Structure 1
Amino acid sequence: MGGFSLVELSVVLVVLGIAGVLLVRWLTYAHAEQKQVLQRTLLQRADDALLAYVSARHHLPCPAAGIDGIANCTLSTGFLPHAELGLPEPRAGRIRYAVYRNPAITGVDPDLASVAGDLAVAVDRAPVLQMLGNATSGSISAQVALPTGCATLAGVDCTAVPALKSNGLDFCYALRTAMNAPALGNQAHTIGSSGRVTNVAYALALTDPATSAPMAINKGHTFASPRREAGNDYQDKVRAVGMEQLWSRLRCGESLGSAMHAHANAAAAASLNVPAMDDYQEQIEIMVDLAHAGDLGADAAIVLSVAQIFSATAGIFDSIGETANSIGGWSWRVPLSTVGLGSALGATTASAAFKAKSVENVKKTAQLRSAFLDGTPASDDPDGGIYPLQLRATALYRAVSLQAQRADMLGITPGPAERAEIGKIGATP
C-alpha cells in the first residue's frame, strides 16, 4: 500500500525516456554546433593568416601538396600551406586551398599586351599612367610605363630589398586586372547554384570526412559557393575571397590611385613646367632686347630731331638771306622755315618723352629678368612671392618626381627595411 503503483512507475519511466531522448538530441546538436564553430574559427584564422601574408610578402602563398603544410609553387591547388603561414594547428593542414595563378592576362589593358596575373608570385607589373594633355582630335594623350626608381635613384639597392621594386601596388594591379579577366575553369573559382563560374583570388574549403563523399565538390580549382546550404550529403565549409573583396581589404583603391596615377600626373605636370619656364625666359630676353632697341631708337629719334632743328634753323637763315637779296621777294619762305623749326622742336620734345618711356621699359624688363632668374623682384611687385620661377620649376619637378618614385617603391605596407633603404635617398633624384 505504501509503494509505487505500476501506473505511477510507468509515468516516471515515460518522463525519463522523453528527457533522455531530448538530452541525447541536445548533446548531438551541441556537439555539431561546437564542431561548426571550430570549423568556422579555423577557416577565419586561415583567412586572417593569408591576409597578413599578402600584406607582408605582397603575394599569396603557393598551395601545399599534402597536409604537411609546406608550400609547393608548382601547384595552383592543393592544401593550405599552414607551415608557411605560421599556423601551428595540425587541423589546418586538412583545409583545401586554391589560388589564382594566371601567368598572362591578355585583352584587358589596352596599353599592355599582357599582365602577369599570378597572385602567388611577386612581380613588378604596376605601370604609372601619366595624362600629358588632349590631342587635337579630342583623344587623350597618355604615357604608360613601369616606374624606374630602382634604376635611376642613386643609393637605392633594390636587390637587397626586393620589395622596393615589387610590392603591394603590383599585387593590387594584378587584382584589378584579374577583375576584368574572363572566368576560367582552370583557375581558382566558385560555382553558384545556377552553374555560374566566378574566378576568385583564393578559396578555402574545410571538408567533412564523415560525409559519404568528402571532397567530391570542393576539389581542384572548383569550390562550391560559400552560400550553399548544408545537407545530409554536404557539410563542407567554404570561404572564397574574390578579387574585389581582397582589393577592398588591402585598401588598394586609395593607394594605387595616388601612387600610380596622381603622383605620376603631378610629376608629369611639373616636368612640363620646366620647358615652359625656359620658353618664358626666352620671351623675357626678347623683351629686354626690345626694350634696349626701343631705347636706342629713342636716342636716334632725339639725334634726328636735333638735326631737324639745326636744319630748320639753317632754313630760316637761308630764307632771311634770300629775302634780303630779293628785296623782300622771298619773304614768304621765312614763315615756312619757322614752321619747320617748330615742327623740329615738337619732334625733339616727343623724342625726349619716348626716351623717358624707353628708359622706364629697360628698367622694368631688367627687374623682371632679375626677378625671374635669381628671385629679386622689385619692392612694388605684387607677385614677388612667386619668384624665382625658373629655379622653382626645376626644384619642384625634382621634388615631385622623387616623391612619386618613393611612393611606388614604398607600396602599401612598407616594412622597416624598405623605409630604411628609402631614407638613404637624397633630395635630388
Structure 2
Amino acid sequence: MKILRQQGYSLLELAVVIVVAGVLLTAGAGLYVQRAEQARDVSHQALVAVADDAIAGFLFARARMPCPATGDNGIENCQAVIGQLPYRSLGLAEPLLNTAGQALTYAVYNQPSVTNTQDAALTLLKDRLQPFFADATPAVASAQELGYQNGLDFCQALVIAASKPPSSAHLNVGQSDDNYINVAYVLINPGARDSDGDGQLLDGVNSAMSDDSPRAAYPDQPADANYDDQVHAVYFSQLNQKLGCVNAMTPGAAHANALSAAAVMQQAMIEYREQLELIAFLAGADIAAATADTLKSVVDTAVTVAESATSVASAINSGGGLSGALVAAGLATGLAVVSLTATTAGLAFAIATAAISDQNVNNFQAQEQALSAIRIQIDSNLRAADQAGLYE
C-alpha cells in the first residue's frame, strides 16, 4: 500500500515569505509616502506661485500690498493683518485651494507711522520717498516731499521695514520671541488634517496666529505626526529684488545728490563773486586815489613852472647873477613833469585794473546764471523720476 504525503510549505519557507512580503510592504509604504509628499510639495509650489504672481500684479497696479480677506467672499479687508488670500481683489475668478480643498491663509506686514518717512505699513500707499537734498542757497540739506505716490514709495516702505528693529508685534516667522525674523508676507497651506489635535487645520504656532500675535512657523519646518502645514514666506529683500526697486530708485538718488552738489557749488560761486565785487570796488577806489595823485601832480607842475618863470625873470634882471637859481628851477620843473608822468601812468594802470575786475564780475555772473539753469534742470529731472514711479 502506497502512503501519500501531503505537499506544502515548511515553517521556514513561510517565515521567509512573510519576511520578504514585509520588506516589500515597508518599502512600498515608504515609497508611497515619499511620492505623496512630493506630490504635495509640487501642488503647494504651484499654488503659491499663482498667489505670488497675483500679489505682484496687484502691487504693480496699486503700489501697495493687498489686505487679507476676512470672509469667504475674497474681498480684502484692510482692518485685518491675517486672513485668507483676497482672490477677488487680486483678480482671480476662484479661491486658491490645496489638494484637501482648503484655502490659503495670508498675512502681511504692517507697521504704520504718522511720519511718512518712518511708515512701514505695506498695505497703505503713502508718499514715503522724500529724498534728502539741498535745493536752495545757503545749501542746507533736508528731506523733501515731492508730492507723488507710486511704486517707489512702496520700495521705500520695504527699505524702512527692513531697517526697523525686530518686532514680534508685527508679521514674523519663527518659534519663539528669541528666534524669529520679520517678513513682508506669508502664505500658509493648512494641509489636509488637524495634525496637532487642537481643533484647527493650522498646526503649531500657525494655529495661534492673530492680528496681535502674527507669527508663522519657519518655512523649512519639516512635516511630522503633529505638523503638516506648509509656510511660504517672502522677505523684504526678496520682494525688493523682485520689484527691481534698487534700479528704479537709483536715478532719483543720483538726481538728489547732483542737486545738492549744484547748490553747494552755487553757494561757493556766490561767495567768490562777492570777493570779485570787492576787488572791483577796491579797483575803483584805486582810480579815485590815482586821479587825486594826478591832479596834485598837475598842480605841483604848474607851481613849479611858475616858479621857474620867476627864476628866469630874476636871472635876467640880475644879469646872470642868479643863474644857479635858474638851473635849480629848471631841474624842479623837470622833476615835476616826471612826477606828473608817473602819476598819469598810475591812473592808467588803475583804470585798466578796474576794467579787468568789472569784466571778471560780469563773466562770473554769466557762469552763475548757467549753473542756476543746470540746477533747475536737475530739479526737474528729479521730480520727473519720482513722478514716473517704479516703471517709466
With structure 2 as the length reference, what TM-score do the two structures score? 0.78
TM-aligned CA deviation for residue 400 of structure 1: 0.8
Structure-2 residue corresponding to 1:389: 367
TM-aligned CA deviation for residue 406 of structure 1: 1.4
CA shift digits 1:84-121 (9 cap, x unpaired): 2234563177111111122227xxxxxx6973321101
SS state of the match for residue 228, structure 1? coil
- State whether residues 194 and 202 of structure 2, in contact with CA within 8 Å, keep that contact through their aligned partners in structure 1: no
Structure 1 unmatched ranges of 5 or more: 106-111, 149-164, 374-387, 415-429
Structure-2 residue corresponding to 1:421: none
Structure-2 residue corresponding to 1:26: 31
Residues 1:313 and 2:305 are matched in the alignment: yes
Residues 1:360 and 2:360 are matched in the alignment: no
Structure-1 residue corresponding to 2:3: none
- State whether residues 58 and 122 of structure 1, in contact with CA within 8 Å, keep that contact through their aligned partners in structure 2: yes
Structure-2 residue corresponding to 1:235: 228
- State whether residues 135 and 263 of structure 2, in contact with CA within 8 Å, keep that contact through their aligned partners in structure 1: no
Task: Tell me the distance in 2 between the aligned counterparts of 1:289 and 1:194.
Answer: 72
Structure-2 residue corresponding to 1:94: 103
Choose from 44, 48, 63 the match for 1:39: 44
Q: 1:234 to 1:199 in 2, by over 3 A?
A: same
Choose from 110, 131, 140 the match for 1:128: 131
Task: Tell me the distance in 2 between the aligned counterparts of 1:350 and 1:26.
Answer: 114
SS state of the match for residue 94, structure 1? coil
Task: Tell me the distance in 2 between the aligned counterparts of 1:309 and 1:187.
Answer: 96
- State whether residues 116 and 128 of structure 2, in contact with CA within 8 Å, keep that contact through their aligned partners in structure 1: no
SS state of the match for residue 98, structure 1? strand
Task: Tell me the distance in 2 between the aligned counterparts of 1:294 and 1:185.
Answer: 76
Task: Tell me the distance in 2 between the aligned counterparts of 1:284 and 1:143.
Answer: 31
Structure-2 residue corresponding to 1:268: 260
TM-aligned CA deviation for residue 342 of structure 1: 2.4
Task: Tell me the distance in 2 between the aligned counterparts of 1:296 and 1:195.
Answer: 83
SS state of the match for residue 212, structure 1? coil
Choose from 321, 325, 333 the match for 2:325: 333
SS state of the match for residue 393, structure 1? helix
Q: 1:125 to 1:306 in 2, by over 3 A?
A: same
Residues 1:204 and 2:150 are matched in the alignment: no
Residues 1:225 and 2:222 are matched in the alignment: no
TM-aligned CA deviation for residue 13 of structure 1: 8.8
Amino acid at match of 1:97: Y
TM-aligned CA deviation for residue 59 of structure 1: 0.9
Structure-1 residue corresponding to 2:162: 179
Structure-1 residue corresponding to 2:4: none
SS state of the match for residue 97, structure 2? helix
Q: 1:299 to 1:103 in 2, by over 3 A?
A: closer
- State whether residues 169 and 408 of structure 1, in contact with CA within 8 Å, keep that contact through their aligned partners in structure 2: yes
Structure 2 unmatched ranges of 5 or more: 1-6
- State whether residues 56 and 413 of structure 1, in contact with CA within 8 Å, keep that contact through their aligned partners in structure 2: no
TM-aligned CA deviation for residue 38 of structure 1: 1.0
Structure-2 residue corresponding to 1:57: 62
SS state of the match for residue 55, structure 1? helix
SS state of the match for residue 112, structure 2? strand
- Structure number with bigger Rg: 2
Q: 1:81 to 1:353 in 2, by over 3 A?
A: same
TM-aligned CA deviation for residue 123 of structure 1: 1.0
Moved more, 70-79 or 234-243: 234-243
Task: Tell me the distance in 2 between the aligned counterparts of 1:66 and 1:401.
Answer: 47
Number of equivalences: 370
- State whether residues 95 and 207 of structure 1, in contact with CA within 8 Å, keep that contact through their aligned partners in structure 2: yes
TM-aligned CA deviation for residue 343 of structure 1: 1.7
Moved more, 208-217 or 283-292: 283-292
Q: 1:113 to 1:31 in 2, by over 3 A?
A: closer
Residues 1:215 and 2:208 are matched in the alignment: no
Task: Tell me the distance in 2 between the aligned counterparts of 1:89 and 1:278.
Answer: 65
Task: Tell me the distance in 2 between the aligned counterparts of 1:90 and 1:242.
Answer: 22
Structure-2 residue corresponding to 1:378: none
CA shift digits 1:215-262 (9 cap, x unpaired): 133133120111322211112111222334333443434544652x44
CA shift digits 1:111-150 (9 cap, x unpaired): x6973321101111222212699x9xxxx964223225xx
Choose from 334, 338, 341 the match for 1:346: 338
Choose from 147, 152, 167 the match for 2:150: 167
Task: Tell me the distance in 1 between the aligned counterparts of 2:156 and 2:216.
Answer: 25
SS state of the match for residue 330, structure 2? helix
TM-aligned CA deviation for residue 64 of structure 1: 0.9
Residues 1:407 and 2:385 are matched in the alignment: yes
Amino acid at match of 2:379: S
CA shift digits 1:311-347 (9 cap, x unpaired): 2222222223334555666544334323322222222
Aligned-pair identity in percent equals: 29
Task: Tell me the distance in 1 between the aligned counterparts of 2:383 and 2:78.
Answer: 31
Task: Tell me the distance in 1 between the aligned counterparts of 2:391 and 2:122.
Answer: 17
Task: Tell me the distance in 2 between the aligned counterparts of 1:131 and 1:230.
Answer: 56
Choose from 112, 117, 120 the match for 1:117: 120
CA shift digits 1:365-422 (9 cap, x unpaired): 454455445xxxxxxxxxxxxxx313312211110111111122223234xxxxxxxx
Q: 1:177 to 1:17 in 2, by over 3 A?
A: closer
Residues 1:144 and 2:136 are matched in the alignment: no
Alignment root-mean-square deviation, CA: 3.8
- State whether residues 311 and 329 of structure 2, in contact with CA within 8 Å, keep that contact through their aligned partners in structure 1: yes
Task: Tell me the distance in 1 between the aligned counterparts of 2:168 and 2:294.
Answer: 92
Task: Tell me the distance in 1 between the aligned counterparts of 2:364 and 2:141.
Answer: 31
Structure-1 residue corresponding to 2:239: 246
Amino acid at match of 1:86: G
TM-aligned CA deviation for residue 306 of structure 1: 3.8
Q: 1:187 to 1:282 in 2, by over 3 A?
A: closer
